[in-house]
Amino acid sequence: MVIYGMNSHDKIRVCVVGATGFAGAEVCRFVLGHPVFELTFATDRKAAGTPLSEVYPAFSGISDISLSAPDPDAIVSAADIAFLAVPHTASLALTPSLIERGVTVIDLSADYRIKDPHIYESWYKAKHTSTDLLTQAVYGLPELNRKELQALSVRYKQGEAVLVAAPGCYPTATALACMPALESGVVKGDFVISDAISGVSGAGRAPSARTHYCHANESVEAYGVASHRHIPEMEQTLSQVAGRAISVVFTPHLAPLTRGLLATVYLPVNESVTQNELQRIYERRYASEPLVSVLAYSNMPRTGSVAGSVRAQIGLALDARLHHMAIVSCAIDNLGKGAAGQAVQAANIVCGLPEMAGIDVAAPVI
């Protein structure tokens, strides 16, 4: 294993498993522009032998890497870190072998996010086959678990393979919108409402009847109502933040956007809380966070301001007219802060690198 130290010429070898999916391709994009990470292996079971640049011409002239089959032996010989941009259960089949053989895993699937295997099995309808790793995995939301990721860094630098469970896109935006209010203790009650809208790329590269252009264009619809698999992940995270059990009423929506996600949460707060106090709570909480910006009071974020980046923008207002409700919106790129970019952010911390290495980019202005 190559450990990044004082020598600026040291490289950390990276494999991306599932490199042709949207999240996997985004990980490749960030890694190819990274000062320390080096893309040495990329896999796709169906497209093995095909140049990555043939699947995504945007990589022409940037990378000449060809896709390989996701063979554990080949990954172990080629990489120090593996980003797994794969569907749930696929990580269960690969992660234990990689960890055991010394490869650090940044898992973008849901397989190691939920600490209770029974809850995972209930929502994902699959047997969890490596429950021993659940206690080792760190949920990779840096704004919440930076210290835990830094603790992994100590182990990584000692030559140990570690596991990061990268958060889902909806849970990321919902958590960022809720954390300051829940941490401060101003929220009443034990449930949160989250309404969220995502672009079509959040559904993955494989088309479906719902995501086909003719169905998704010029139309917005709710889906997975009261049954979306991200609900237990949200409840686990928000309960951790609040220090008590929090239930989530979550309604996701599909919008005719290529990328971008907007989550608006509703939090009943104490009647004594003022607009200025609420704004200060959020500004103080995120003052030192490099990727989270809090907009001026009642200014709400838009997905176009963060699309293509790893940044998050938050806007809030207080509706004192009805139940003293805090209304907080968080805009992220579902593939950036919601997936690939956040995975690289967590990997930077684990590897002891500057947290913003390779991801400190602004969104396109138009």
- Tokens representing 14 are 């990276």
* Catalytic residue ranges: 169
Cα dihedral 129, 134, 138, 139 sign? positive
pTM of the model: 0.96
Region of 67 on the Ramachandran plot (φ > 0 left; ψ -120 to 50 alpha; else beta): beta
pLDDT tens for 200-246 read 998 888 878 888 888 899 999 999 999 999 999 999 999 999 999 99
CA distance 351 to 37: 10
Longest dimension (CA), the chain: 63
What is 126-149 written as a DSSP string? S--S-GGGTTT-EE--HHHHHHHH
CB contact set of 81 (below 8 Å; sequence gap of 6+): 12, 13, 14, 15, 37, 103, 104, 105, 106, 347, 351
> How confident is the model at residue 208, as a pLDDT?
84
Which residue ranges form the domains of the chain, and what is each CATH number? 12-166+338-350 (3.40.50.720), 169-334 (3.30.360.10)
DSSP bridge pairs for 250:
194
For residue 138, give the nearest of 360, 353, 339, 349 by alpha carbon.
Answer: 349
CB contact set of 88 (below 8 Å; sequence gap of 6+): 109, 110, 111, 124, 126
> How confident is the model at residue 152, as a pLDDT?
98
pLDDT tens for 263-291 read 999 999 999 999 999 999 999 999 999 99
pLDDT tens for 26-74 read 999 999 999 999 999 999 999 999 999 999 999 999 999 999 999 999 9
CA distance 314 to 181: 13
